[in-house]
Amino acid sequence: MLEGIDRLVDLIGPRASGLTGASLDHVVGATGRCDTAALAATDGHVAAVARDGRTVRLSRTIGLPLRYFVAKMYHGPFLVVSDRMDRIFDWCQAQRIGWQFDPCYTRMVPAHYVTELDQVGCPDPAPRYHRFFTPPIGHGSADLDEAGAVYIRAAYAVVREWVSRVPAGEPIAVAFSGGIDSTAVLLLARRALADLRRDPWDVRAFTLDFGGGQDAAQAEAAVRALGLESAWERVTVPPDAVDLVEAIAVIEDYHPLDVECAAASLCLLRAVRERYPSLRYLLDGDGGDENLKAYPLEDSDLTLSSVLRNPLLYQEGWGVDAIKHSEVYSGGLSRGYVRTYAPASTYGFTAFSPFTVRSVIAAAAAIPFERVLGGSVERLSRVKPEAVSAGIRQVLGVEMPVNPKRRLQDGAGAAPRARVSKAWCRHAFTRLWEDRLRDTPDALDERRSGNEMART
């Protein structure tokens, strides 16, 4: 192994969105030192990589995916970092080591951890994880009016900070279903602009409709009730525009609900981009269901006990030490947020959801769910509508419409063929990569060996 060779290849660089409490340079420095206290003092989203001798450290939050791959070169193991599998693969191809690549050899940095790796050669040591987000659990009020106000104040602060960094006069899109989370985001964004002495009508809401979808009617009724009809647009897309294989390629994952959601998102964002070629900023309500545990337990293998005893289950999955944790994908919304991030990135949007930010997650985690529910599964479905509507009422003075929860692909009226199994999605994912890897030079005279020195 040659000394003095920089074997860290960062293909995307440090990123931040709505960051407060430190500059991005300070975040990179704190990541390099594994200073979890300094990272914990920030809010907003970050993704950073730094080297400390032979040790490389990576950190991220939910809103900014970060992935790495260990490539073998003569100089020793190279750590290649990006937000996507295909960008890492392209780098390997350019180095004539594409034959080393397999998507299952890549690793997603789990949200809210510093991931630490030593570059010392074969065998590569397992990563070590250092947590930097540890919100107090269940210490807040069991009164949902009070808890909702705390939650919405936290979300408003985050929205205002993000909006303040959008250049004045730039329009802001909201992916809008008329549901609880997207309605809250629309109202919070408008209030933030007004409080910043800017025009709240710069915020426009867009609702996807494949024809006869429930969300379009719901969204129209919601904006009419709020007096915001002129800030809303229905985006009608033919049902045959849904392309699940395209969605799998974009999100590089095969979880069916995320694939379906991403396919619908791609339809919406493609149409919005065609209407508004220069529109850049996008808000959504992703994470609201996870924060307030608004998922029907009958649709999963979860029990009320498992949800309550794992307070960040929906945000992070079972945890980095659990059997069910996927090193390739992470878990919970740490994995699933790619369904929002990747489609937005594909069409040139800077996407942001206040409900994925740590201060807002912490405000939700403070709710003593065990006391609020009293063991009632039925009560769980009423927590989010009661808490969010009460919070909007107290913080903004607005009586918001409260509509039923529906997934984007369902509310838009997606065709039946858009509902698929995990086996189908995984097969499609495998076929996509088989096709890519088939074109990888594999003859000995075309590929570079890990033992080959670079020609000078």
Q: What is the mean pLDDT of residues 82-107?
A: 96
Q: Which of 133, 153, 172 is the last residue of a domain?
A: 133
Helix (H) or strand (E) holding 409: helix 408-411
* Strands 172-175 and 203-209, bridge-based pairing: parallel
Strands 55-60 and 113-118: antiparallel
Is 456 inside a domain boundary?
Answer: no
Same domain? For 117 and 149 the reply is no
Are residue 161 and residue 300 in the same domain, yes or no? yes
Average the pLDDT over 225-234 and give the result. 97
Residue 7 DSSP one-character state = -
Of 249 and 408, the structure prediction assigns the larger pLDDT to: 249
Across the range 70-88, mean pLDDT stands at 92
- The reported pLDDT for the residue numbered 456 is 43
pLDDT of the residue at 120:
82
pLDDT in tens, 326-384: 999 999 999 999 999 999 999 999 999 999 999 999 999 999 999 999 999 999 999 99
- The larger pLDDT score, comparing residue 75 to residue 451, is at 75
Give the pLDDT confidence score for residue 213 in this predicted structure. 77
pLDDT value of position 414: 64
Assess whether 174 and 116 both reside in one domain. no
Domain identity same for 397 and 263: yes
The pLDDT assigned to 439 comes to 77
237 and 105 in a single domain? The answer is no
Q: What is the pLDDT of residues 424-445, one digit of tens each?
A: 999 999 999 999 998 776 644 5
Closest residue by Cα to residue 296 from 183, 147, 405:
405
Convert the pLDDT of each residue in 244-270 to its tens digit.
Answer: 999 999 999 999 999 999 999 999 999
Going by pLDDT thresholds of 50, 70 and 90, the confidence category of residue 300 is: confident
Q: How confident is the model at residue 278 (pLDDT cuts 50, 70, 90)?
A: very high
Q: What percent of the chain has pLDDT over 90?
A: 85
Mean pLDDT of the chain: 93
| Residues of the domain holding 47 | 8-133
Same domain, 105 and 164: no
pLDDT value at 121 more than 80: no
Residue 128 and residue 225 in one domain = no
- Encoding tokens for residue 327? 């090193």
- What secondary structure does DSSP assign to 200-263, as a single string? GGGEEEEEEESSS-HHHHHHHHHHHHHT-GGGEEEEE--GGG--HHHHHHHHT---HHHHHHHH
Q: What is the pLDDT of residues 166-179, one digit of tens each?
A: 999 999 999 999 99
Query: Greater confidence, 269 or 4?
Result: 269
438 falls within a domain: no
Band of pLDDT at residue 296, cut at 50, 70 and 90: confident
Output the six-digit token pair for 250: 């974009």
- 128 and 152 in a single domain? The answer is no
Q: What share of the chain is helix, strand, coil (3-state, %, to 5)?
A: 45, 15, 40
Grouping H, G, I as helix, E, B as strand and the rest as coil, residue 59 is strand
According to the model, what pLDDT value does residue 451 have? 59
Decide if 222 is inside a domain: yes
Which CATH number characterizes residue 275's domain? Answer: 3.40.50.620
Helical spans, DSSP H, in 255-312 = 256-275, 288-291, 304-308
- 83 and 157 housed in the same domain: no
CB-side exposure of 312: number of CA atoms within 13 Å? Answer: 23
271 and 167 within one domain: yes
Q: How confident is the model over 199-228, as a mean pLDDT?
A: 94
Q: Are residues 327 and 408 in the same domain?
A: yes
Q: What is the average per-residue pLDDT within 414-426?
A: 78
State the helix-helix crossing angle for 244-251 and 422-438, rounded to 10 degrees.
70
Q: Name which of 292, 265, 411, 330 is nearest 61 in CA terms.
A: 330
Residues 124 and 192 in one domain: no
Tell me the C-alpha distance between 250 and 248, whole Å.
5
Q: How many domains does the chain have?
A: 2
Kindly indicate the confidence band of residue 2, based on its pLDDT and cuts at 50, 70 and 90.
very low
Whether the link from the prior residue into 123 is cis, omega within 30° of 0, is yes
Confidence band of 298 (pLDDT split at 50, 70, 90): confident
